[in-house]
Amino acid sequence: MVLGYRRMADAAPPGDIAGVLLAGGLSRRMGGGDKALRRIGGRPLLERIVERVRPQVDALVLNANGDPARFAGIGLPVVADTVPGFAGPLAGILAGLDWAAQAAPEARWVASFACDAPFLPTDLVDRLAAGRQVQGADLACAASMGRAHPVFGLWPVAIRADLRRALAEEGVRKVDAFTTRYRLATVEIPPIETAAGPVDPFFNANRPDDLAEAERLLGVIDG
């Protein structure tokens, strides 16, 4: 089921925000392969995340390297990193910014999402956009339960030349190392309240054991 979506007043006009799903990594901690295609509750992680993200943005692309045919069932355009060498999530964000500039020229912003967080908020983009505006910042990233989650962010398309230079010429790889160049709004997202206690909305499945925990949390949240 695709969840409903309504933008917060004044957060961003329609057509202003595109999204990029980051699945371009090597998934070493998961043992290789496509982490985004691992399953919980009988469905791929990526399918669950697309369901939660697609209503929040005006255009959506998947960043993944290698043969894009393996994602054909997802129904999204697929773009590879535009910086070689598996340069990490910043390279995927740049690929999303480059794609938006060409395929969604009306978009001034790109929201980025990791593909291993099956419980991410269905109003995340609204919260990031509103938080950035309230704090008068250039960029925004999410935080929850005492931790920042910089790969869940809101990025202006206008910074793509600076990001490309940082990646290709300066060797910057950490998201935090790049965001220090700008005014960054860190937007706190409340936990998911369940009968068994709070659940981090950005719980991520990095290792095989995390998939079992995600299955357990799915039952707790749905229950």
pLDDT in tens, 182-206: 999 999 999 999 988 999 999 998 8
Superfamily of domain 17-222: Spore Coat Polysaccharide Biosynthesis Protein SpsA; Chain A (3.90.550.10)
Q: How far is CA 61 from CA 45, 79, 80, 137, in A?
A: 16, 7, 10, 25
| Angle at 196 (CA atoms; ends 190, 202), nearest 5 degrees | 35
Mean pLDDT value across residues 150-159: 97
Q: Alpha-carbon distance 78 to 86, whole Å?
A: 16
pLDDT of 10 > 60? The answer is no
pLDDT in tens, 97-148: 999 999 999 999 999 999 999 999 999 999 999 999 999 999 999 999 999 9
Burial of 222 (0-12, 13-18, 19+ CB in 10 A): exposed
Please report the pLDDT score of residue 168 as a whole number.
94
Cβ partners under 8 Å of residue 207, min gap 6: 29, 30
Q: Alpha-carbon distance 176 to 134, whole Å?
A: 21
Q: Alpha-carbon distance 94 to 157, whole Å?
A: 9
